[in-house]
């Protein structure tokens, strides 16, 4: 037991060092983001003002709401900004124990996962968000004045961006499942209707019950699912056979 602990001690110290570096990177990026938080918040609010120009400003009803909202926004931006460094630290901790071909696979995994997440986030902010806000603000009129709250609006934007970023990982995860033999080659094609039902349910939950946002999330997810099926058939030629009963 003591020998095992002594053997693990160097790895424990390295893990602690890299975790400290990760937290420091997040802290520094968060502080820098807070210095520019007014501009970042203005960028997030711009689609709302474009969707309904008469609005002009948001409101907050608690004294601490604006401060806490800006802290949350700065932390989120800090994590996203520090993510390349975080991935590098994970890579440096794991790489010594990997074989050369495993390192090449890991690099591809990190690269494509990052690209897909970034693509989903950008798609949400520049395509889905403006259309969703335009629909919502369409209810405003002479007898109905919108007064969006700062905290709730920023949470709405962050949730949508994160949801689409994660959702765009679907084709990647499908290919990985086929390549590693977790599922049979035609599993996703034969179970398409069940996965479509799951996509609709998850989109409804992520959109907080809003029908328009659900539809805007479902449609690209359906396309991504079909892309995952095609990619899985293209890249799963050397996949391992699935276990019986998979």
Per-residue pLDDT of the chain (246 residues; tens, 9 = 90+): 454 445 445 667 888 888 999 999 999 999 999 999 999 999 999 999 998 888 888 998 888 989 999 999 999 999 888 888 887 787 777 767 666 766 676 677 778 778 888 888 888 889 888 888 888 888 888 888 888 999 999 988 988 888 788 778 777 777 777 766 667 767 788 888 888 888 888 777 766 666 766 777 788 888 888 888 887 777 655 444 444 444
Range of the domain at 136: 2-168
- Supply φ then ψ for residue 149, to 5 degrees: -90, 140
Structure tokens that stand for 246 in this block: 């998979």
Residue 94: inside a domain: yes
Residue 203: inside a domain: no
Residue 216: inside a domain: no
Residue 22: inside a domain: yes
- Supply φ then ψ for residue 183, to 5 degrees: -135, 160
pTM of the model: 0.72
- Supply φ then ψ for residue 141, to 5 degrees: -170, -170
Q: Where are the beta strands (DSSP E) in 108-199?
A: none
Residue 223: inside a domain: no
Q: Distance (Å, rounded) from C-alpha 80 to C-alpha 29?
A: 9
Residue with tokens 């799963």: 236
Residue 56: inside a domain: yes
Confidence (pLDDT) at 243: 46
Dihedral sign of CA atoms 230, 232, 235, 241 in order: negative
Per the structure, how many domains does the chain have?
1
- The alpha-carbon radius of gyration of the chain (Å, integer) is 22
Residue 213: inside a domain: no
Residue 131: inside a domain: yes
Helix crossing, 211-235 with 150-167: angle to 10°? 20
CA dist list (Å): 168 to 56, 103, 182, 246: 33, 24, 20, 25
CA atoms lying within 13 Å on the CB side of residue 102:
7
């Amino acid at each position: 037991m003591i020998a095992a602990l002594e053997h693990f001690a160097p790895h424990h110290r390295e893990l602690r060092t890299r975790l400290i570096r990760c937290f420091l990177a997040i802290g520094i990026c968060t502080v820098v983001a807070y210095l520019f938080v007014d501009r970042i918040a203005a960028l997030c609010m711009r689609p709302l003002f474009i969707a309904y120009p008469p609005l002009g400003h948001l409101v907050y009803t608690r004294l601490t709401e604006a401060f806490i909202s800006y802290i949350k926004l700065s932390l989120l931006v800090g994590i996203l900004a520090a993510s390349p460094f975080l991935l590098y630290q994970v890579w440096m901790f794991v790489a010594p124990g990997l074989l050369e071909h495993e390192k090449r696979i890991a690099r591809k995994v990190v690269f494509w996962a990052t690209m897909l997440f970034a693509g989903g986030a950008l798609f949400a902010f520049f395509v889905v968000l403006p259309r969703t806000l335009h629909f919502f603000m369409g209810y405003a009129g002479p007898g109905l004045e919108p007064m969006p709250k700062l905290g709730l609006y920023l949470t709405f934007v962050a949730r949508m961006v994160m949801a689409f970023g994660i959702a765009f990982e679907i084709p990647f995860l499908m290919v990985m499942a086929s390549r590693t033999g977790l599922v049979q080659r035609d599993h996703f094609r034969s179970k398409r209707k069940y996965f479509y039902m799951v996509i609709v349910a998850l989109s409804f939950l992520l959109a907080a019950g809003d029908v328009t946002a659900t539809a805007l999330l479902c449609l690209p997810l359906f396309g991504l699912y079909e892309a995952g099926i095609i990619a899985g058939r293209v890249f799963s030629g050397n996949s391992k056979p699935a276990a019986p009963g998979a």
